[in-house]
Amino acid sequence: MTIALITGANKGIGFETARQLAERGATVLIGARDPHRGRAATEKLAAEGADTRFVQLDVTDAGSIAAAADRIDSEFGRLDILVNNAGIPGRLDGDGAPSSTSPDTLREVFETNVFAPVAVTNAVLPLLRRADAARIVNTSSEVGSMTMAADPAGPLWPMAALTYPTSKTALTMITLMYAKELRDTAIKVNAANPGYCATDFNGNTGFRTAAQGAEPVVHLATLPADGPTGQFWGYRWGAEDGAEYGSLPW
């Protein structure tokens, strides 16, 4: 039995990741801050035949993280998959330009998108170490790629914003650092790029579905023993048909 914890799993890409992992036979722990939404998502998947459990988890609250880790330890004794999916786009100050962005706004986004994955990962790492071959997947984004952002001929060149892009840059680097620390273990740590998906996150403006966005996350969460670690992997920019995956530039 594979035990998977997904943060922010009550909707969007997190929910579809839960569905696809459950379809592969995993017992999926639906991590959600809001109990009502978390239980509703869990019940919806259970009605489809999935083995799901709701775990109340506010990724910005140390007590909530500790309680979730203790529950997983008590009920299962280990964790096979961790998907750090919870994230926020952040509010815009003024026109959203770097010079208009306050440190408080930046701090708010980093609390959820950067500090929280570190806190959750550290809390459950002892459980991941008990698994035969655990997988950690951080849901990142191509907008955090410094290479792509610095290319004047590339599609991300017009973007000049601090909050969300820089948080994903940091998360991708965090992924690499954990992969380096755990390189002599069976644990693999990778960052996934779901691409631009239609979810509540962006007002449903994306050209991919949430289910398509979950595909690279699930791929990395179920890598074989000879799979990569320390990779930024997922949809390549412009592959709107969802057919082109690969390693992405940092």
168 is catalytic: yes
Strand order in the sheet with 245-247: 52-56, 27-32, 3-6, 81-84, 135-139, 188-193, 232-235, 245-247
Q: How would residue 240 be classed by pLDDT, with cut points 50, 70 and 90?
A: low
Return the C-alpha torsion angle 123, 129, 186, 188, nearest 10.
-10
Give Rg (Cα) of the chain.
17
> pLDDT by residue (tens digit) across 102-161?
999 999 999 999 999 999 999 999 999 999 999 999 999 999 999 989 999 988 889 889
Is residue 6 within 8 Å of 30, Cβ to Cβ?
A: yes
> pLDDT by residue (tens digit) across 69-95?
999 999 999 999 999 999 999 888 999
- pLDDT value for 77: 98
> pLDDT by residue (tens digit) across 13-70?
999 999 999 999 999 999 999 999 999 999 999 999 999 999 999 999 999 999 999 9
> pLDDT by residue (tens digit) across 197-220?
556 666 665 557 888 899 999 999
Residue 189 reports pLDDT greater than 60: yes
164 is catalytic: yes
Return the C-alpha torsion angle 141, 142, 145, 149, nearest 10.
-130
**What's the average model confidence in pLDDT over 210-231?**
95
Which is catalytic among the residues 164, 178, 196, 235? 164
Is residue 175 within 8 Å of 192, Cβ to Cβ?
A: no
- DSSP for 231-248 reads -EEEEPTT-TTS--EEE-
- pLDDT value for 165: 94
Which is catalytic among the residues 168, 178, 188, 196? 168
- DSSP for 6-74 reads ETT-SSHHHHHHHHHHHHTT-EEEEEESSHHHHHHHHHHHHHTT--EEEEE--TT-HHHHHHHHHHHHH
- pLDDT value for 243: 55
Q: By CB neighbour count within 10 A (0-12 exposed, 13-18 middle, 19+ buried), where does 193 fall?
A: buried
Residue 1 reports pLDDT greater than 60: yes
Query: CA-CA distance, 79 to 60, in Å (whole number)?
Result: 20
Residue 101 reports pLDDT greater than 80: yes
Contacts of 45 (CB under 8 A, 6+ apart): 15, 18, 19, 22, 28, 30, 52
Q: Is 216 helix (H, G, I), strand (E, B) or coil?
A: helix
- pLDDT value for 56: 98
